[in-house]
Amino acid sequence: MARNTSRIVVGGGIAASVVAGATYGLANLMFSYALDAQAKHSMLRSGRDDGKVADNGPRLDAAEEVEAADWFDQSKQPVVISAEDGIQLHGWLFDPDCAGAKPHLYAICCHGYSGQPQDMAKYAHRFARLGFTVLVPALRGHGLSEGRYAGMGWLDRRDLMRWISLIIGSDADARILLQGKSMGAAAVMMTVGEPDLPRNVVAAVEDCGYASVGQQFIDCARSMFHLPKFLAKPIVTTMGAIARRRAGYGFQEASCVEQLKHATIPMLFIHGGADDFVPSRALDENFDACASIDRQKLLIPSAGHSMSASTAPVVYWKTVTNFVTRVFGL
């Protein structure tokens, strides 16, 4: 009997070791694939916004995208800063594209995961036409910016604070709008909850941002790798531990929901109802968590991920423009 019990214990120990090893192996693979820009098969090397093939939904603003892309290429001015950890961050600066623009207006537009600054061309152009000087940074690990690991919004929040400081350093009366989509939206939401956010930051617009990094990776593990929930959660938990050791942050603290509990500025939340990359439930989770008394949300029912502006451009831009003109008194 004792011998059988011993065999069971040994067998159980071996099985547990195998499971733990497999969990770590899968977590390490996901970390390298999703967050390490130097990994051979890193998703960050794809150059596609959000690391996925573009949504095949309708693009009712195709002509505007072409016009904005030309404007972006012809008007961009390079700018470089150092992040808090010393890496070089690159971005593009754009002058207002309208007559009689009001002074001291600035917008910072943040691209999505595995994207590039030029992905934000149509957004930047819209704000430039409203009279804003626009800054479009390349988030760390993307484009020309240094950094081995993607910040998933959490590291980027402190990078955004540096970009904000750059603007205020040249214009103490600056009034700043933060705007981003997907991971860039997460960076914006995480930034507005910072205790040292300058009063110069007046408002923020987020488009299809996730509620937390951990939950987003669980959703991706289930949708992209077809892992059942009982496997996805421990793998992502282990992935977060790897991220803390290698990239300098864990998934537990990287939460838009938690940061939004400290938000005080006007906020506009936007999401596509047909988003299969960042589930649309994130819209309500983020909106409900936001402590700002001035907040509104817009759901575009048929829009896929990052496609709200293309699916319903009239509704999208009417909502955004009305929000911005009201808050900034344009």
Q: Parallel, antiparallel, or unpaired: how do β-strands 133-137 and 175-181 relate?
A: unpaired
In DSSP terms, 176 is beta-bridged to 106, 201
In DSSP terms, 299 is beta-bridged to 271
Per-residue pLDDT tens over the stretch 193-227: 999 999 999 999 999 999 999 999 999 988 887 88
In DSSP terms, 90 is beta-bridged to 80
Per-residue pLDDT tens over the stretch 26-58: 888 889 999 999 888 888 876 555 545 445 567
Instruction: Answer whether residue 230 is part of any domain.
Output: no
- Of 6-20, 122-136, 215-229, 302-316, the one with minimum mean pLDDT is 6-20
- Helix or strand (DSSP H, E) at 248: none
pLDDT at 40: 81
- Nearest 5°: CA angle at 73, between 92 and 137? 20
Question: For the chain, how far is it from start to end, CA to CA, in angstroms?
Answer: 83
Instruction: Answer whether residue 233 is part of any domain.
Output: no
Instruction: Answer whether residue 26 is part of any domain.
Output: no
Give Cβ neighbours of residue 136 (< 8 Å, ≥ 6 apart): 76, 91, 92, 93, 94, 108, 109, 110, 111, 117, 120, 124
Structure tokens at 43: 């998703």
- Please state, in angstroms and as integers, the Cα–Cα distance from residue 192 to each residue in 14, 63, 98, 197, following that order: 48, 33, 28, 7
Name the domain count of the chain.
1
pLDDT at 152: 97
Confidence class for position 5, pLDDT limits 50, 70, 90: very low
pLDDT at 1 over 60: no
pLDDT at 50: 59
Instruction: Answer whether residue 10 is part of any domain.
Output: no
Give Cβ neighbours of residue 308 (< 8 Å, ≥ 6 apart): 207, 208, 270, 271, 272, 298, 300, 316
pLDDT at 56: 56
- Of 98-102, 104-108, 124-128, the one with minimum mean pLDDT is 98-102
Instruction: Answer whether residue 14 is part of any domain.
Output: no
Structure tokens at 227: 């892992």
pLDDT at 84: 97
Domain of residue 308, residue span:
36-212+254-328
Question: Strand 105-110's sheet: what is its strand order?
Answer: 77-82, 88-94, 133-137, 105-110, 175-181, 201-207, 267-272, 295-300
Instruction: Answer whether residue 9 is part of any domain.
Output: no
pTM for the predicted model, two decimal places = 0.92
Confidence class for position 18, pLDDT limits 50, 70, 90: very low
pLDDT at 199: 98
DSSP string, 156-220: HHHHHHHHHHHHHHH-TT-EEEEEEETHHHHHHHHHHT-TT--TTEEEEEEES--SBHHHHHHHH
In DSSP terms, 93 is beta-bridged to 77, 135
- The count of other CB atoms within 10 Å of the CB of residue 318 is 12
pLDDT at 174: 98
Query: What average pLDDT does this structure show over 117-131?
Result: 98
What percent of the chain is helix, strand and coil (3-state, nearest 5)? 50, 15, 35
pLDDT at 22: 66
CB 120 within 8 A of CB 73: no
Per-residue pLDDT tens over the stretch 133-185: 999 999 999 999 999 999 999 999 999 999 999 999 999 999 999 999 999 99
Give the residue carrying structure tokens 């207002």.
96
CATH number of the CATH domain containing 206: 3.40.50.1820
Per-residue pLDDT tens over the stretch 251-277: 999 999 999 999 999 999 999 999 999
Q: What is the DSSP letter of 146?
A: -
- Rounded CA-CA distance 21/25 in Å is 6
Instruction: Answer whether residue 16 is part of any domain.
Output: no
Per-residue pLDDT tens over the stretch 50-104: 545 445 567 889 999 999 999 999 999 999 999 999 999 999 999 999 888 889 9
- Rounded CA-CA distance 305/183 in Å is 12
Instruction: Answer whether residue 159 is part of any domain.
Output: yes
Confidence class for position 14, pLDDT limits 50, 70, 90: very low
